[in-house]
Amino acid sequence: MGFREDLQEICRRCDGAVACTLMGMDGIEVDSHVEAEADVDLKSLLIEYSGLFRSAQEASETHAAGGLAELSLSTDRILTVARVVNPEYFMVMALAPDGNFGKARYLLRVTAPKLRSEL
């Protein structure tokens, strides 16, 4: 199974999923699956979020909190949860505000090792 199929499966299994993306820490998308239309520009938003992810990672390491594993952001119109795959890549899932956040976290956590082995 390739990246897109893995991302599609994650979306299929989570209520409220809008999209799931594998991205480089540099903000470049490796692959993505869009499950439903969002009323926000997801591609641009996720590129911006990659900068936040890097900043949170640096702050965590600078203050001896350990490596960053996960980061979530919630706005009025979209909920995102991101999970580190390896030092160069992370997965991010976008959900409707009423989406199943706990299941999204679980699916990203159990899928990250599989993607890590495929990179």
- Digit-coded pLDDT (tens) for 64-97: 999 899 999 999 999 999 999 999 999 999 999 9
- CB 34: neighbour CB atoms within 10 A? 17
Residue pair 22/89 in contact by the 8 Å Cβ criterion: yes
**What is the Cα–Cα distance from 94 to 7, expressed in whole angstroms?**
12
The span from the first CA to the last CA of the chain, in angstroms, equals: 13
| 108-113 mean pLDDT | 96
> pTM value?
0.88
| 3-118 CATH pick, 1.10.490.10, 1.10.10.10, 3.30.450.30, 3.40.50.2000 | 3.30.450.30
Band (pLDDT 50/70/90 cuts) for residue 1 is low
Band (pLDDT 50/70/90 cuts) for residue 45 is confident
**What is the Cα–Cα distance from 22 to 38, expressed in whole angstroms?**
18
**What is the Cα–Cα distance from 22 to 6, expressed in whole angstroms?**
10
Q: What percent of the chain has pLDDT over 90?
A: 70
